[in-house]
Amino acid sequence: MSQSTHFREKINFQKHKRMADEIAKIIPLSSSVYDAFCQSERELFVPQGMGLHAYKLDALPLAANQWISSPLTVAKMTEALTCKGADSVLEIGCGSGYQALILSKLIRRVFTIERIDRLLQEAKERFKTLGITNIHTRFDDGQNGWREFAPYDRILFSASTPHVPQKLFEQLKIGGILVAPIEKEEQQIITRFLKTEEGIIQENLDTCLFVPVKEGREY
């Protein structure tokens, strides 16, 4: 590794760590999630020209009227998943790919679905650039899930919805956790669902703001 490359990586790590420290001032972060944020280069996942804003705790606009969630929201969703002990996770709504990147540091197999082809192609290029090999992508309406690799230990719904489709619960293991932003009246609530032998246990966690889920695929 050249001196310039080593210096650049050191500077980037400091940016990541500063952001993780800012998040940890607001919500409790497990050591594994904290480390995942320190190891993940958010600057590659924001639009060109917005690199200076990459490590602020703000959501940023993407193509196709989509957004990359704020790092704080990503942290809340990731902590809600309780990734320890999980081997596989399905993400509904890849977007920029940043949430999938964080999950790839915590869970061995990440499966992520995106309905907007342009966003998915850009995310795949980012994963390739970073040499990430444990993220598997699919172009589809995420509400269909991905039956070929089910059941999953965890499912993350990265778009707001009035209710989670039953077919996604069917693709979740017994003992598995699904996290989704559920629309309730005028709010969106990060909601955790635990699948048990007896049924689904639901827990409301925190308010959030996501783009609403849409049906179909968009080229």
State the pLDDT at residue 11. 58
Cα torsion 6, 11, 16, 20 to 10°: value is: 120
Span 53-84, pLDDT tens digits: 888 888 888 866 677 889 999 999 999 999 99
- Annotated catalytic residue: which of 40, 69, 104, 158? 69
* Count of structural domains, the chain: 1
Span 80-97, pLDDT tens digits: 999 999 999 999 999 999
The CATH number of the domain holding residue 180 is 3.40.50.150
Cβ-in-10-Å burial (0-12, 13-18, 19+) of 152 comes to: buried
Structural domain contains residue 10: no
Would the pTM count as exceeding 0.85?
A: yes
State the pLDDT at residue 199. 96
Structural domain contains residue 218: no
Structural domain contains residue 124: yes
Tell me the pLDDT band of 2, cut-offs 50, 70 and 90: very low
Taking the C-alpha atoms of residue 100 and residue 184, their distance in angstroms, rounded to an integer, is 26
Structural domain contains residue 49: no
Identity (one letter) of the amino acid at 148?
E
Tell me the pLDDT band of 7, cut-offs 50, 70 and 90: very low
Structural domain contains residue 28: no
Tokens standing for 159? Answer: 């778009």
Residue of 218 and 103 predicted with greater confidence: 103
pLDDT above 90 for 105: yes
Catalytic status, residue 69 = yes
Structural domain contains residue 130: yes
Taking the C-alpha atoms of residue 126 and residue 55, their distance in angstroms, rounded to an integer, is 17
What is the span of the domain harbouring residue 120?
56-207
Identity (one letter) of the amino acid at 63?
A
State the pLDDT at residue 138. 97
Cα torsion 122, 192, 58, 92 to 10°: value is: 10
Residue of 22 and 216 predicted with greater confidence: 22
pLDDT above 80 for 9: no
Structural domain contains residue 46: no
Of 176, 180, 136, 137, which is closest to residue 158 (Cα–Cα)?
A: 180
Span 145-204, pLDDT tens digits: 999 999 999 999 999 999 999 999 999 999 999 999 999 988 999 999 999 999 999 999
Structural domain contains residue 8: no
DSSP code, position 173 = E
What does residue 171 show for φ and ψ, rounded to 5 degrees?
Answer: -95, 5
CB 143 within 8 A of CB 215: yes
